[in-house]
Amino acid sequence: MTPPINADLHSHSTVSDGTLTPEELASRAKANGVALWALTDHDEIGGQARAAAAARALGMDYLTGVEISVSFLHQTVHIVGLGFDADNAALINGLRQTRGGREQRAREMAAGLAKVGIDGAFEGALKYAGNRDLISRTHFARFLVESGVCRETYEVFRKYLTEGKPGFVEHRWASLRDAVTWITQAGGMAVIAHPARYKFSANEEFALFTEFKGHGGRGVEVVTGSHTPAEYISYADTAREFGLAASRGSDFHSPNESHTEIGTLPPLAAALTPVWELLAQRIQVASSPSLEATASATH
């Protein structure tokens, strides 16, 4: 049997809330043995051409990627899109709308933090945001660690940035229907990101999966940096129950913050259908100068 390919289909660069550029991330993925990579920045595909070029030059196959913020039953759900056409106008417009409210939200978050004595958080977070349109909770977390309010980003989320805490602002993101439709109509596959992270009841989760499939969604992340090994098993069952393909990705953001290194997760269980099997036509194949050189030398 051929060994499973090392695919990492979830990661973030400086285009959203990661700390490495697309090129740096490509090198890191390559160094860790990744053979098929997708950069999935939040609500933005501006890094796709750079990521694809860097991947192919390093001998990795590439799938286009994005992670879209969606509001579903008063929670934020993330939908990953893979293998879409990055020039698709409806997708580009939809993502622009989705990003639209972030600055206002960030100002409201800063006002909430000011009430508990943390001043200047908007300007502070903005300094960490490579892309102002995508100012996110992650950038606030980096500012609060840097300024000594907390020791690490997880502590910031727990104390300040999650529901009920002073810096949390409920936000209306894209609808599930829109996100899945934008991805699908651009020729890609929609995938539910890290399903174990949401705080849904069993009925709510059933509604999420059912509606997602109804809109044309076809995949779910099973092996992700956000799941425990027990959750790899339970969501493998969910994938089979709903007839969804399975994805694998680290959700790597930063060498200092991410607990899961890019390209190092265990493989998907053999009984699952990997998303990349259904996306074979959408893969941008590595340019392999060494192979070409070998071929011309022997002919």
Is 209 within 8 Å of 235 (Cβ atoms)?
A: no
Binding of residue 153 to ligand AMP (CB under 6 A): yes
Strands 189-192 and 219-224: parallel
Q: Which is nearer to ligand AMP, 75 or 234 (CB)?
A: 75
User: Is residue 238 classed as helix, strand or coil in its secondary structure?
Assistant: helix
Nearer to ligand AMP, 137 or 215 (CB): 137
Name the nearest CA neighbour of 131 among 22, 49, 44: 44
Residue 137 interaction partner, one of Mn ion, ligand AMP, none, beta carbon < 5-8 Å per kind: ligand AMP
Whether 9 and 36 have beta carbons less than 8 Å apart is answered as: yes
Q: Is 62 within 8 Å of 51 (Cβ atoms)?
A: yes
Burial code (b: 16+ CB inside 10 Å, e: under 16) for 163-190 equals: eeebbbbeeebbebebbbbbbbebebbb
Residue number, nearest CB to Mn ion: 78
CB of 138 to Mn ion, least distance (A): 5
Interacting positions 214-273 with ligand AMP (CB under 6 A): 253
Q: Which is nearer to ligand AMP, 154 or 288 (CB)?
A: 154
Q: Closest distance between Mn ion and the C-beta of residue 182, in Å? A: 17
Beta strands in the chain (DSSP E): 7-8, 36-37, 61-62, 65-72, 75-82, 189-192, 219-224, 245-249
Choices 118-126, 150-158, 222-230, 282-290 (CB under 6 A): range interacting with ligand AMP? 150-158
Residues between 59 and 88 that touch ligand AMP (CB under 6 A) = 69
- Please give the structure tokens belonging to residue 15: 């285009």
User: Does 11 engage in binding with ligand AMP (CB under 6 A)?
Assistant: no
Separation CA 91–CA 182 (nearest Å): 5
Q: Which DSSP symbol is given to 75? A: E
| Tokens 């941008």 -> residue | 284
Does position 138 bind ligand AMP by CB under 6 A? yes
Closest CA to 197 of 217, 221, 173: 221
136, 224, 238, 247: which one binds ligand AMP (CB under 6 A): 136
Region binding ligand AMP by CB under 6 A among candidate stretches 45-53, 83-91, 149-157, 264-272: 149-157
Stretch that binds ligand AMP, among 32-40, 131-139, 179-187, 239-247 (CB under 6 A): 131-139
The residue (of 6 and 69) whose beta carbon lies closer to Mn ion is 69
The entry of Mn ion, ligand AMP, none that residue 157 binds, CB within 5 to 8 Å by partner kind: ligand AMP
Question: How many alpha carbons lie under 13 Å from residue 105 in its C-beta half-sphere?
Answer: 20
- Distance between CA 212 and CA 1 in Å, rounded? 34
Does residue 293 interact with ligand AMP by CB under 6 A? no
Rule CB under 6 A: is residue 98 a binding residue for ligand AMP? no
Residue 69 binding target from Mn ion, ligand AMP, none, CB below 5 to 8 Å by type: ligand AMP
Contact residues for ligand AMP, defined by CB under 6 A: 17, 42, 69, 136-138, 153-154, 157, 253
